[in-house]
Amino acid sequence: MADDVLLLGGDLPVRRLGLGTGGLVGPGYWGPRGSRAEALALLLTAVERGVTLIDTADNYGPDLAEELIAEALHPYGERLVIATKGGVVRTGPDRWHAAGRPEQLRAMCEASLRRLRVESIGLYQLHRFDPEVPETEQLGALAQLRAEGKIRHIGLDTVTAGQLRRALEVVPVAAVQNPYNLVDRSSAEVLALCEARGIAFLPYYPLGSGALTRESAAAVTAVAAEHRAGPGQIALAWLLHRSPVLCPTPGTGSLAHLAENLDAATIRLTPQERSVLDALGE
How many Å is the maximal CA-CA distance in the chain?
Answer: 53
3-state secondary structure of 175: strand
Side chain identity at 122, as an amino acid letter? G
The DSSP annotation for 59-73 comes to TTBTTHHHHHHHHHH
Q: What is the CA radius of gyration of the chain?
A: 18
Side chain identity at 126, as an amino acid letter? L
In 132-279, which ranges are E strands? 151-157, 175-179, 200-204
- Closest among 113, 92, 84, 108 to 20, alpha carbons compared: 84
Q: Please, are residues 81 and 14 in contact by the beta-carbon 8 Å criterion?
A: yes
Q: What residues contact 160, with CB distance under 8 A and at least 6 apart?
A: 190
Side chain identity at 105, as an amino acid letter? L
Q: Give the active site residues.
A: 60
Q: Please, are residues 281 and 185 in contact by the beta-carbon 8 Å criterion?
A: yes
